[in-house]
Amino acid sequence: MKKPRSKPRPWHIAKAQSRPAPMENRKRIEFYHTTRWKKESRLFRMENPVCKRCETKGLVVPSEVTDHRIPLELCEDPWDHNNWDALCKKCNNSKAAADKKLIKQHKQNGKDKF
Ligand SMILES: [Zn+2]
């Protein structure tokens, strides 16, 4: 006896089409608002109190944010500490601009992962 085919579920499509923001933006915002992220990134900065980028220039600047070396949108595992850097806000801002370009490039190449 054949199993009955599952009926099409048009409401799934409707839901996907009516999402409020591009998926990756929404996921990013959701991620950075999770309690786990807030807690783990704070601990990470306690272990890495100095901005990594400034440190390579011989400057000692307190770290203020935890950054994903491979951007959140492109990395395999956002919880991998090896992909994290403690940065000051200034370095994070310039990194974010570079990330944007990188993400755009990847989209143009049809890739969404590294
Ligand atoms: Zn810095």
- Please state, as a whole number, how many other Cβ atoms lie within 10 Å of the Cβ of residue 53: 20
The closest alpha carbon to 78, from 23, 40, 26, belongs to: 40
- Say what the pTM is: 0.72
> How much distance in Å is there from the Cα of 27 to the middle of ligand 1?
26
> How much distance in Å is there from the Cα of 2 to the middle of ligand 1?
64
Rounded distance between C-alpha atoms, residue 50 and residue 59, angstroms? 9
Average the pLDDT over 17-37 and give the result: 75
> How much distance in Å is there from the Cα of 13 to the middle of ligand 1?
44
> How much distance in Å is there from the Cα of 90 to the middle of ligand 1?
6
- Please state, as a whole number, how many other Cβ atoms lie within 10 Å of the Cβ of residue 85: 18
> How much distance in Å is there from the Cα of 20 to the middle of ligand 1?
34
> How much distance in Å is there from the Cα of 9 to the middle of ligand 1?
50
Rounded distance between C-alpha atoms, residue 86 and residue 41, angstroms? 9
Span 49-105, pLDDT tens digits:
999 999 999 999 999 999 999 999 899 999 999 999 999 999 999 999 999 999 899
Phi first, then psi: give them for residue 84, nearest 5 degrees: -105, 145
Per-domain residue ranges of the chain: 24-108
Phi first, then psi: give them for residue 39, nearest 5 degrees: -70, -50
